[in-house]
């Protein structure tokens, strides 16, 4: 794996972070506008490394086979409390998010935190989610669970009024930026004193993998609904394991990861149906503890581009480096700002999302208009077809064609100056509709 990825040093604060940069999500190919290539799957593991203060921060690992993981980045991110444990990762609306525990296991906590990133290296706190439960003593191991466009977190909450009363509660995101969350809903039927609840759905059945904090065993539960009707399917392994996390592999089978906290290391087993599992085997992931694994295309989106208009030599720019919805996208002289950098992310069907690296928002035709002259802005990534673009080669340049309208990204009146507006317009051969991209 070392020979297949480039490595560079990135300074974060006063620390040097060794980053293995994954390849671009959209294959560049021989032409700047080559369409996305289908890609194999790789696996990202987010974790912390131990109980020492310096180890309670976010580490990101990478694997091509889901069993041998190498360091992608020590991010040095610890969140507002200075402690980050048990991180759960998900990709949503063009960004990565982690939910995480905010204190050590010996320190009281009453909430969990959410952070986001576009590159897996630089992380920003976006929300603190209160338990919403009276007399909360601990909030541990928040785990993402996504169904379609609905994002949920399942967190383990214990109260001060009892000594063995951890229970899983479901919190549901109320907006696309994951900054607003519902109050807690209990997972009724899943027995008392269970922690580290990780849920996947297969067909119409929900499967929960959870540690019984009384027996210290990993258990398997199933239900026809997320918040009620849970039935025990028995114990998977004897005591000494915690933090179960499950991912579906490229071949359709499943792999579970558990933290062997009694003597260190991550262990793993596989299943074809989530019910019958192989024996546990050690996973190569030096220093890894409780965390989660995310399957992504092996051409993961960390290559950032400046996108340059052929006729003017100016680049696509979010005016004023705004991070707000509806901020204007215009052309401007290159200055190296993050508001002039974009990633091209696979949106399926031969289309891409073009995501600004300053605010993580998508290139968007305002109001999903199909008219000539419709304004182009940035907006929170929604998956709408007015945020999906076809990269259409034209010589050594390319056009960006809006999926919803079939019209091209166009610099208004072929203006060559700073601040010339960008719109959609019927595609032609003019150079103000032709673009190139340069990795930066």
- What tokens does 220 get? 């398997």
Reported as a single tens digit per residue, the pLDDT across 290-333 is 999 998 876 444 578 899 999 999 999 999 999 999 999 999 99
- Of 274, 297, 320, the one marking the end of a domain is 297
- Whether 291 and 344 share a structural domain: no
Reported as a single tens digit per residue, the pLDDT across 362-371 is 999 999 999 9
Q: What value, to the nearest 5°, has the Cα angle with vertex 172 and ends 167 and 176?
A: 150
Confidence of residue 121 (pLDDT cuts 50, 70, 90): confident
Please report which helix (H) or strand (E) contains residue 111, including its range.
Answer: strand 111-117
- Whether 115 and 258 share a structural domain: yes
- Whether 197 and 327 share a structural domain: no
* Domain count for the chain: 2
Rounded Cα distance between 328 and 342, Å, is: 15
- Of 297, 316, 347, the one marking the end of a domain is 297
- Whether 52 and 114 share a structural domain: yes
Instruction: Kindly calculate the radius of gyration of the chain based on its CA atoms and give it in whole angstroms.
Output: 23
Q: Three-state DSSP class for 54?
A: helix
What mean pLDDT do residues 172-195 have? 94
Whether the pLDDT of residue 22 is over 70: the answer is: no
- Residue numbers of the domain that contains 349: 305-439
Per DSSP, the residues of 117-152 read: ESSSSS-EEEEEEE--STTEEEEEEEEEEEETTEEE
- Of 297, 328, 360, the one marking the end of a domain is 297
- Whether 177 and 108 share a structural domain: yes
Reported as a single tens digit per residue, the pLDDT across 235-282 is 998 778 999 999 988 778 899 999 998 777 999 999 999 999 999 999
């Amino acid at each position: 794996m070392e020979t297949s990825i480039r490595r560079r040093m990135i300074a974060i604060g006063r620390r040097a972070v060794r980053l293995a940069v994954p390849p671009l999500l959209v294959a560049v190919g021989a032409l700047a506008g080559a369409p996305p290539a289908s890609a194999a799957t790789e696996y990202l593991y987010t974790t912390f490394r131990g109980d020492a203060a310096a180890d309670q921060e976010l580490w990101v690992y990478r694997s091509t086979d889901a069993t041998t993981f190498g360091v992608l980045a020590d991010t040095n991110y610890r969140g507002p409390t200075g402690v980050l444990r048990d991180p759960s990762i998900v990709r949503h609306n063009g960004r990565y998010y982690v939910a995480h525990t905010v204190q050590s296991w010996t320190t009281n906590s009453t909430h969990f935190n959410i952070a986001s990133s576009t590159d897996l290296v630089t992380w920003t706190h976006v929300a603190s989610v209160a338990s919403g439960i009276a007399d909360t003593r601990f909030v541990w191991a928040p785990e993402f669970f996504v169904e379609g466009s609905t994002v949920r977190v399942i967190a383990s909450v214990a109260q001060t009024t009892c000594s063995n009363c951890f229970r899983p509660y479901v919190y549901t995101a109320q907006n696309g930026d994951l900054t607003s969350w519902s109050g807690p809903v209990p997972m009724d039927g899943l027995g008392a004193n269970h922690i580290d609840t990780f849920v996947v759905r297969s067909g119409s059945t929900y499967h929960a993998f959870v540690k019984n904090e009384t027996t210290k065993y990993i258990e398997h539960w199933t239900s026809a609904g997320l918040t009620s009707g849970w039935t025990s399917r028995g114990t998977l392994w004897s005591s000494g394991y915690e933090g179960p996390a499950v991912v579906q592999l490229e071949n359709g089978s499943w792999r579970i990861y558990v933290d062997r906290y009694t003597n260190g290391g991550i262990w793993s087993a596989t299943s074809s149906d989530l019910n019958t599992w192989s024996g546990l085997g050690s996973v190569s992931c030096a220093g890894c503890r409780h965390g989660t694994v995310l399957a992504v295309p092996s051409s993961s989106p960390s290559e950032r581009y400046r996108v340059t208009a052929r006729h003017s030599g100016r680049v696509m720019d979010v005016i004023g480096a705004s991070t707000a919805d509806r901020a204007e996208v215009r052309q401007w002289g290159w200055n190296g700002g993050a508001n002039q950098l974009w990633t091209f992310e696979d949106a399926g069907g031969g289309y891409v999302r073009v995501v600004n690296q300053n605010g993580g928002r998508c290139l968007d035709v305002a109001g999903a208009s199909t008219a000539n002259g419709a304004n182009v802005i940035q907006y929170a990534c929604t998956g709408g077809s007015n945020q999906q673009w076809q990269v259409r080669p034209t010589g050594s340049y390319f056009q960006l064609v809006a999926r919803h309208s079939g019209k091209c990204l166009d610099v208004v009146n072929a203006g060559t100056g700073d601040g010339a507006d960008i719109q959609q317009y019927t595609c032609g051969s003019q150079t103000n509709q032709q673009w190139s991209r340069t990795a930066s």
